[in-house]
């Protein structure tokens, strides 16, 4: 089996960065990323570089996933956030006067390296800080739509991908699995209101936050979409809203959020959106299954117990609708 990144050898990685106007030392470290390939790269001093940094993060987008215009939408949003003083990481300039470069069939973007740690858990007061920053992101996101990015709907994230899962779900589980997915997606057909959508992070969980000792940076806008505001809340909380810890966390994040933006009247979407994420995440793995890397990191994906667990999670959510 082959991977989309088989041709991304060390020489290609370094040559791509050099062609963007940055002089590498040859030293780099690969960072965790399932969908793309991301590297922490050390640089030599170079006054003629587009931005005189000594270290950067190089992101090679998975081929054929995003169009150039879709990536530009992401980068323009990050630049808007940065211009407002919001702690999000905008891409570095390149010597082609753009923020992307096509090299050997790969789209490359470069970002400044930010030192910080991902939170294992939030300390008292930190979720209030996160809520305040999230409100600032949404205030910018509400100014216009991202024309070339996806819109998070039950069709695009559910109905359109459901058939992809049938070959992977165990045959004896498929009828129940399909039935519960249909129930959830039909509910979302009625519940989601695209007129209320704004530009959102789209994949807003603890792993995409970095704390530098003073504030949280929001990172990895690769799943940046037009969608419901509450999508950027539920992944930050510990569980469903009937959970005591999640309720406490919700109160704290909302306390910070409402200082700068009205709290969304969308909490009824919390669990249905969680279910949509479960369906879409499984379809994403199925779509990438021919990549041997995915078979290594998701070895249980073809097992009976994996799909039984997925089914139980979805049926538990459906019972609350």
For residue 192, name the pLDDT band (cuts at 50, 70, 90): very high
Residue 127: phi, psi to the nearest 5? -65, -30
Q: What is the mean pLDDT of residues 15-30?
A: 96
Secondary structure element (H or E) that encloses residue 72, with its range: helix 68-83
Q: What is the mean pLDDT of residues 272-295?
A: 96
pLDDT tens for 96-143 read: 999 999 999 999 999 999 888 888 888 889 999 999 999 999 999 999
Residue 189: phi, psi to the nearest 5? -55, -40
Distance between CA atoms of residues 196 and 142, nearest Å: 9
Q: Measured on CA atoms in the order 252, 257, 258, 260, is the torsion positive or negative?
A: positive
Ramachandran bin of 57, using left for φ above 0, alpha for ψ from -120 to 50, beta for the remaining angles: beta
Q: Is 251's pLDDT higher than 80?
A: yes
For residue 13, name the pLDDT band (cuts at 50, 70, 90): very high
For residue 305, name the pLDDT band (cuts at 50, 70, 90): very high
- Return the domain boundaries, the chain: 10-112, 126-318
pLDDT of residue 70: 97
Q: Is 52's pLDDT higher than 90?
A: no
Q: Please name which of 1, 223, 8, 3 lies closest in space to residue 105, comparing C-alpha atoms.
A: 8
Q: Is 239's pLDDT higher than 70?
A: no
pLDDT of residue 276: 97
Edge-to-edge strand list for the sheet holding 24-31 = 24-31, 37-43, 55-61, 106-112, 101-103
Write the burial class of residue 154 (CB in 10 Å: 0-12 exposed, 13-18 middle, 19+ buried).
Answer: buried
Active site residues: 203, 220
- Contact between residue 219 and residue 208 where contact means Cβ atoms under 8 Å apart: yes
Write down the number of H helices and E strands in the chain: 11, 9
For residue 1, name the pLDDT band (cuts at 50, 70, 90): low
Per CATH, which fold does 10-112 belong to?
A: Phosphorylase Kinase; domain 1 (3.30.200)
Alpha carbon separation from 169 to 186, 202, 300, 301 (Å, rounded): 21, 26, 12, 9
Q: What is the mean pLDDT of residues 190-214?
A: 94
Mean pLDDT computed over every residue of the chain: 94
Residue 280: both structure tokens together: 């879409």
Distance between CA atoms of residues 125 and 255, nearest Å: 10
Partner residues linked to 37 by β-bridges: 60
**Strand, helix or coil at 290?**
coil
- Contact between residue 173 and residue 309 where contact means Cβ atoms under 8 Å apart: no
Per CATH, which fold does 126-318 belong to?
A: Transferase(Phosphotransferase); domain 1 (1.10.510)
């Amino acid at each position: 089996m082959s991977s989309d990144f088989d041709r991304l050898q060390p020489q290609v990685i370094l040559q791509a960065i050099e062609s963007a106007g940055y002089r590498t030392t040859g030293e780099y470290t690969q960072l965790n990323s399932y969908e793309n390939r991301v590297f922490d790269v050390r640089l030599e001093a170079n006054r003629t570089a587009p931005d005189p940094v000594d270290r950067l993060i190089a992101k090679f987008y998975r081929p054929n996933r995003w169009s150039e215009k879709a990536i530009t939408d992401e980068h323009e949003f990050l630049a808007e956030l940065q211009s407002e003083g919001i702690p999000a990481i905008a891409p570095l300039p390149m010597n082609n006067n753009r923020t992307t470069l096509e090299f050997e069939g790969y789209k490359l973007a470069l970002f400044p390296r930010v030192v910080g740690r991902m939170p294992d858990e939030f300390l008292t007061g930190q979720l209030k800080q996160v809520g305040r920053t999230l409100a600032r992101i949404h205030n910018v996101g509400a100014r216009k739509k991202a024309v070339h990015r996806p819109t998070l709907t039950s069709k695009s994230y559910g109905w359109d991908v459901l058939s992809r899962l049938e070959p992977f779900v165990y045959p004896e589980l498929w009828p129940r699995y399909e039935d519960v997915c249909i129930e959830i997606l039909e509910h979302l057909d009625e519940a989601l209101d695209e007129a209320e959508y704004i530009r959102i992070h789209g994949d807003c969980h603890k792993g995409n936050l970095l704390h530098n000792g003073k504030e949280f940076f929001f990172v990895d806008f690769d799943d940046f979409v037009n969608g419901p505001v509450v999508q950027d809340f539920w992944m930050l909380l510990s569980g469903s809203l009937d959970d005591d810890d999640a309720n406490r966390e919700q109160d704290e994040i909302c306390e910070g959020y409402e200082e700068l933006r009205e709290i969304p009247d969308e909490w009824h979407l919390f669990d249905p959106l969680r279910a949509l994420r479960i369906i879409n995440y499984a379809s994403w793995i199925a779509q990438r299954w021919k990549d041997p890397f995915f078979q290594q990191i998701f070895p249980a994906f073809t097992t009976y117990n994996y799909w039984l667990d997925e089914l139980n999670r979805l049926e538990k959510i459906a019972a609350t609708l």
